[in-house]
Structure 1
Amino acid sequence: MGFTLFARVHAAFGAPLTLANLGDRLGAMWGGRVLVDEPYRRTLTGAQIAELVAGWSNAIASLSEPGERVVLATPNSYDQFLLCLAVARAGRVAVPVNAQMRPVEVDHVVNDSGARLVIRSADDLEEAVATAPPCEPATPDPGEVAALFYTSGTTGKPKGAALTHKGLMGEARFGALAPTDLVDVEVVVSLPVAHIFGFVMLLSMATSGMRVCFLARFKASDVLDVIESRRSTGFIGVPSMYRMLLEAGAAERDLSCVRFWGSGADAMPAELAQTFKRFGASANLPIIGSVGDALFIEGYGMVEIGGAAAIKVSLPRLPERLGQNLAFRMPGYKFRVVGADGVEVPTGEMGELQLKGPGVLKEYWNAPEATRGAITEDGWLRTGDLVRLSRLGTINFCGRQKHVIKSGGYSVYPLEVELALEEHPDVLEAAVVGKADPKLGLVPVAAVRLDPGASVTPEELVDWVSERLSLYKAPRQIIVVDELPRTGTAKLQKDRIEEFFH
């Protein structure tokens, strides 16, 4: 325990961590401690990770030039994460791509990044590993670009967010100071490595010495089997995964081993989070001690900030509404909320969140106009998210600015309507979009997934919302679908949902 604490403090406050030196540092800090378990494949200790990363780094250095971009078009795997460290150690820029990208999308990333080296599997490097001479680890400035993460492309072609060593490693260092009860655990992760949420989670857990059970492909029944059989103490996923776990029978499983649940990349319905908190065991926090339920931890972030800028922890013993909205800024971040005119709004009023902080992208690669559109002249990142800030500094997420439906002079916020629909016991998931209307401009409409045994009709759901929200917010049309279209990172594709109503 003493060495573990020392290693974690060293990770947080020791010599600067970069992607380039992280592989070697994991070997030095954690040695024979198992950091990753890929069921039915292998386990890896800190020392084994250091050895793998060094070998791949030598190979990459022999196949490319310093500063070049290297595209990692591998299947989703822990190898893809370690290859990012190897690319950085060789003094190159890592460009991981999602395994669900179509060939034409991968071609776009290769051409846009200017990469000459594309790695499709770690096996591609076997020959070079055997013959390449050892290379000295790169020593980049923390402000240099470490990786390009391409946006999910829900609108237009993906853009490469250029993220620095300092920005990517900032949250990993902060994660090393998490309470011991949340670190000396095994966490099940089944996220895409090429998505910033998955990547930063793996960075943070490796740095803190947290053991990861990594599942390359998410299947709800498999995740439940793993948690139950291994008595894993944490799970991190996106909201849609939690819905699928519930549909796969989570309520009938013994999940009492789980001390914390984690989520990000999309808005988490409060009732869904509360449900999983009740499934788990009590977490123990410093000073407080046992808190009675499992914790539910949500991160607010995006690829343009290299992870999360705020974190929400649903704590027991708080009034329910406060417990659902209590969010904290990550260290080093500043927030402001502005109206359509760019002027800050009074505390408590809704507006667009703009922020500054260490993780903010340096630029969009080869896209100066997009960069100017994303960052204000005085250096604030425009998030496009509508929020309210309280006097206590807590943040309440209200939806995406571009998804607001202007209907007859009123503003309809899809997230508010979606949450109202999902309160109905027969509704598994809802997506609200705008449909053209000759009189009102746009009107809200909704696509919903229902419980297999549901008997509720679309008309009854319209009445359900009308009883809870203003009439102009109620969907004018509701259709029932088997599945809702998603991106490779499980986010809803609102543009494709709009096509349902054409």
Structure 2
Amino acid sequence: MNEVADADGFGRGGTGAGAGAEAGVGAGPGAGVAVTGETGAAVAAAGAGAAGGAAAGDAGAGSGPAAGGCGDVPDPRGDLRWGSIAGLVQDAAARFGEREAVVDGRLRLDYRQLGERVEHAAAACLAAGVEPGDRVAVWAPNTLDWIVCALGAVSAGAVLVPLNTRFKGAEAAYVLQRSRARLLFVTGTFLGTSYVASLRRAAAEGPGTGPLPGLPHLEQVVVLADDAPESFRTWKDFLADGDSVPAEAVRARAEAIPSDAPSDIIYTSGTTGSPKGAVITHAQTLRCYAVWSELAGLREGDRYLIVNPFFHTFGYKAGIIACLMRGATMVPQSVFNVDTVLANVAAERISVLPGPPTLHQSLLDHPQRDHHDLSALRLVVTGAAVVPLQLVERLRAELHIATVLTAYGLSEASGIVTMCRRGDPAEVVSETSGRAIPDTRLRIAAPDGTARPDGTAGEIWVSGHHVMRGYFEDPDATAGAITPDGWLRTGDVGVLDADGNLRITDRIKDMFIVGGFNAYPAEIEQLLGLHPDVADVAVVGVPDPRLGEVGKAYAVRRPGSTLTADDLIAWSRREMANYKVPREVEFVADLPRNASGKVLKTELRSRRRSA
């Protein structure tokens, strides 16, 4: 049967059969409540059974403490150790004290100071009227302010909603409206774009009486800068309100957060083109990234350059959360620039550098590489695109990096499903995404849900403690993604080898990855369809030597139109995030479709290959 659990026994079985239930993530099939989103505990699986409860009776699942050891981690159950992300922050402040926590330009904070800043931000959230379960959004690049406001909101019992920094105003407004966020932290200007102005244009009209009439649920907008427009607030003024909140009230709020309460909603687009919010709990986050930290070998004193955006599950959780767990120093970088990466790695003695293959390839090929001291680098985690064998070999041989790992995950599974192990051969790291993490089962499924024979491709199904509680306020989408017995249908196609390593072979959902960013054709097609001269359009991913993949649009002009490829690309750059913008446009008389009217994208891909 093409179905496996974690092969190495690391942490298998947790603390016993059904252990996930005590953290609120494994109550069993059918145990979920409606995804109402009104307050904390109500945001759970809509009839999906909080995936994880089904694991105990299936192949390879542990059934007690004796089912497997935990390597060097005395307590792999991060959810039980810390209880909540708020508990993790304060524990890190106590344990690591004067160890450097964050370096952001000239700003340097130790763990004690970071804990104080987070508590101050949490106090300000209480002063602003934030209640447990309220959604609080952050639309900003990787900075110390992002870390503080996000962790402060979560410590006040709020549910974090990170917004993609590549979004345009309308895209951000959609997620804010869909999540009904009450509070937004937003950067002033980033990459030459005024986020405040962009959002005001997108949500200027509507029935609301708050700072943005088009978003009636949004009560406050806090600009992470010294200046803010009328009806918005500055970060400094917002924090000042927290001075009147007693420390006891802040700590009581943090201590009252249940481990099974939602900690964040990560919005991810799908084949319908409409972003959906994957609801993840404190327990799931803590448990997953305690395991991730151990498998990766992250340790106290590491210096971690976080280039992966904080709005991604990986940047936030394998970055900020993992560093808090292990006492590593966070060095956030707001955009990928290879010159800046080289300078930071050398100046800050960076030892940990996760990122897409594009980042590492650019580093290796940089003409000034040998002029920088990169000798502190010891751990690289990559993935999210094709990883050439030569890249893995060069990282090990030329930069003497001891550990190079790849992994596979998705927002709906807390960002992690499989991971290579330290010591895996270069071929395994390059050609596969590693083995299932502890307490996770994989199934290579046929269309009817049964397991495929070994060595054959099928849809990747996942079951375990990390599967989302559901899509926020979308029970139909939740039911379509998670089976009644707790299996998550990923929409990706893969094969398991004899050792349980997963190889991704295709994507049912047609998603492609542009320099580490997930791009969804249906969403891009919807946006392109808004152009007045586009009658019909289909988008596919095509190979790109620098970014891995980029979008190619096949467009049908409206009668009489003289629209050119350059015109449509230029329009796209104004209307959508840059990674969504098609790099190629080909105009066609019509799109190939099957009898039911569905576009035959396989034909478009083969047409492009043959050309």
Pairwise same-fold verdict (TM > 0.5): yes
Equivalent residue in structure 2 for 1:298, among 397, 403, 406: 406
Matched, 1:83 2:149: yes
SS of 1:403's equivalent in the other structure is coil
Corresponding letter in the other structure for 1:307: G
SS of 2:582's equivalent in the other structure is helix
Counterpart Cα distance in 2 of 1:387 and 1:491: 29
Q: Any residues of structure 2 matched to 1:72-471 within 5 Å, and which?
A: 72-120=138-186, 121=224, 122-123=235-236, 125-134=238-247, 135=249, 136-138=252-254, 139-151=256-268, 156-177=273-294, 183-201=300-318, 202-249=320-367, 252-253=370-371, 254-281=373-400, 294-313=402-421, 315=423, 318=425, 320=427, 324-325=431-432, 327-403=434-510, 446=542, 448-449=544-545
Contact 1:23–1:54, Cα closer than 8 Å, also in 2: no
Counterpart Cα distance in 2 of 1:500 and 1:245: 33
Name stretches of at least 5 consecutive residues in structure 2 with no aligned partner. 1-71, 187-223, 225-234, 522-537, 548-568, 589-611
Counterpart Cα distance in 1 of 2:166 and 2:406: 25
Assess, with a 3 A threshold, how the Cα gap between structure 1 residues 251 and 50 changes in structure 2: closer, same or farther.
Answer: closer
Corresponding letter in the other structure for 2:442: F
- The structural deviation recorded for 1:53 is 1.0
- The structural deviation recorded for 1:132 is 3.2
Cα deviation per residue 1:407-463 (whole Å; 9 max; x = unaligned)?
Answer: xxxxxxx99xx9xxxxxxxxxxxx9x9xxxxxxxx9x99454489xxxxxxxxxxxx
- The structural deviation recorded for 1:180 is 6.6
Assess, with a 3 A threshold, how the Cα gap between structure 1 residues 10 and 56 changes in structure 2: closer, same or farther.
Answer: farther
| Match in the other structure for 2:98 | 32
| Match in the other structure for 1:44 | 109
Counterpart Cα distance in 2 of 1:385 and 1:302: 10
Corresponding letter in the other structure for 2:162: P
Equivalent residue in structure 1 for 2:133, among 43, 53, 67: 67
Contact 1:53–1:83, Cα closer than 8 Å, also in 2: yes
Counterpart Cα distance in 1 of 2:280 and 2:298: 31
Contact 1:314–1:326, Cα closer than 8 Å, also in 2: no
Assess, with a 3 A threshold, how the Cα gap between structure 1 residues 147 and 265 changes in structure 2: closer, same or farther.
Answer: same
Cα deviation per residue 1:368-406 (whole Å; 9 max; x = unaligned)?
Answer: 2211111123220011111111232221121212339xx
Counterpart Cα distance in 2 of 1:154 and 1:294: 39
- The structural deviation recorded for 1:216 is 2.0
Cα deviation per residue 1:300-355 (whole Å; 9 max; x = unaligned)?
Answer: 10111112111124736x48468743712111111111123322101111111100
Assess, with a 3 A threshold, how the Cα gap between structure 1 residues 210 and 373 changes in structure 2: closer, same or farther.
Answer: same
| Match in the other structure for 2:119 | 54
Assess, with a 3 A threshold, how the Cα gap between structure 1 residues 250 and 198 changes in structure 2: closer, same or farther.
Answer: farther
Corresponding letter in the other structure for 2:317: V
Assess, with a 3 A threshold, how the Cα gap between structure 1 residues 389 and 114 changes in structure 2: closer, same or farther.
Answer: same
Counterpart Cα distance in 2 of 1:95 and 1:200: 13
- The structural deviation recorded for 1:129 is 2.4
Corresponding letter in the other structure for 1:23: V
Contact 1:172–1:205, Cα closer than 8 Å, also in 2: no
Counterpart Cα distance in 2 of 1:445 and 1:263: 20
Aligned length: 418
Counterpart Cα distance in 2 of 1:183 and 1:323: 28
| Match in the other structure for 2:88 | 22
Counterpart Cα distance in 2 of 1:144 and 1:273: 39
Counterpart Cα distance in 2 of 1:322 and 1:22: 31
Assess, with a 3 A threshold, how the Cα gap between structure 1 residues 360 and 322 changes in structure 2: closer, same or farther.
Answer: closer
SS of 2:354's equivalent in the other structure is strand
Greater Cα shift, 272-281 or 202-211: 272-281
- The structural deviation recorded for 1:172 is 2.4
SS of 1:266's equivalent in the other structure is coil
Percent identical:
26
Assess, with a 3 A threshold, how the Cα gap between structure 1 residues 353 and 104 changes in structure 2: closer, same or farther.
Answer: same
Corresponding letter in the other structure for 2:509: K
- The structural deviation recorded for 1:223 is 0.1
Cα deviation per residue 1:93-137 (whole Å; 9 max; x = unaligned)?
Answer: 111212222111121111111122222224452222233343223
Name the structure where strand makes up a greater proportion of residues.
1
Assess, with a 3 A threshold, how the Cα gap between structure 1 residues 397 and 193 changes in structure 2: closer, same or farther.
Answer: same
Greater Cα shift, 152-161 or 95-104: 152-161
Cα deviation per residue 1:214-234 (whole Å; 9 max; x = unaligned)?
Answer: 212221111012213333222
Contact 1:239–1:266, Cα closer than 8 Å, also in 2: yes
Counterpart Cα distance in 2 of 1:489 and 1:27: 40
Corresponding letter in the other structure for 1:32: E
Greater Cα shift, 55-64 or 224-233: 224-233
Counterpart Cα distance in 1 of 2:422 and 2:432: 8
Counterpart Cα distance in 2 of 1:58 and 1:489: 36
- The structural deviation recorded for 1:76 is 3.1
SS of 1:235's equivalent in the other structure is coil
- The structural deviation recorded for 1:178 is 5.4
TM-score (norm 1): 0.74
- The structural deviation recorded for 1:275 is 2.1
